[in-house]
Homo-oligomer: A and B are copies of this chain.
Amino acid sequence: MSPPTPASQDTRTRILDAAARLFHEQGFNATGVSTILREAGVNPGSLYNLYPSKDALLAAVLERYTELLHPIVMAPVEAKASDPIERIFALLQQYRDWFSPLEFRLGCPIGNLALEVADSHPEIRPLIQQNFDGWSGYVERWLREAGDRLPRSLDRRQLASTVLTVMEGGLMQARSSRSAAAYDASVAQLRQYFDLLLARASGGGKHT
């Protein structure tokens, strides 16, 4: 129970928590360092002792998201559903459950940053990429677990990427309309697609 560098460790997490929350709520450019300092209860010198710049802090936040991907995002899904294909829809449902109480005011923390800083901050883009790869990597693994319930010719990686597309594209529209409709619509169509794929793999190779 004795952390190696107690004060600094605590400061670090307080800063990371505040920064992550504010970047998510307001975006990167719209969040002032002074706000992060206030919310974290920390002075400028402490922050700049740990992170040389606001950009470096953003990088740290994104590394943290990568670390938290499994414990926060994927583990609950794996616990809720055991069937690999149902896990995919449980994942999509989880995002809905997270964001619909706030009327989709926030959106995906990674997706937001992707569009805001992807091409202005070259050192940040790979970290966003890494988060997306991790996310769709889980989906791709589940699709492989589904084995021959899906057509053999189906490109699992393509479909995994499409699941992420549905998540991000649906959330973007939900955010713009402050309603779940577009998100639900895209998920419903994805479900339809899965049903057709599953039927084709089990039922018949009627078409060619």
Contacts and interface: CB of A to CB of B under 8 A. Distances in A.
A200 interface: yes
A12 interface: no
Interface string A162-178: 10111111101101111
Interface stretch (A43-51, A66-74, A82-90, A104-112): A104-112
A157 to B, nearest CB: 7
Contact of A27 (B120, B168, B181): B120
Interface in A1-60: 26-27, 29-30
A116 interface: yes
A125 interface: yes
A188 B116 contact: no
Contacts of A175: 114-115, 118-119
A207 interface: yes
Contacts of A162: 166, 185-186, 189-190
Contacts of A30: 29, 120
Contacts of A120: 26-27, 30
B115 A188 contact: no
Contact of A173 (B105, B168, B176, B207): B168
Nearest to A185: B158
Given A158-B185, A185-B158, A207-B203, A173 B177 contact: no
Nearest to A30: B29
Most chain B C-beta atoms within 10 Å of own C-beta, residue among A157, A167, A181, A192: A192
Contact of A206 (B115, B178, B203): B203
8 contacts: A26-B120, A29-B30, A114-B176, A161-B181, A164-B173, A165-B165, A165-B185, A203-B207
Interface of A: 26-27, 29-30, 105-107, 111-112, 114-116, 118-120, 125, 128-129, 132, 155, 157-159, 161-162, 164-170, 172-173, 175-178, 181-182, 185-186, 188-190, 192-193, 196-197, 199-200, 203-204, 206-207
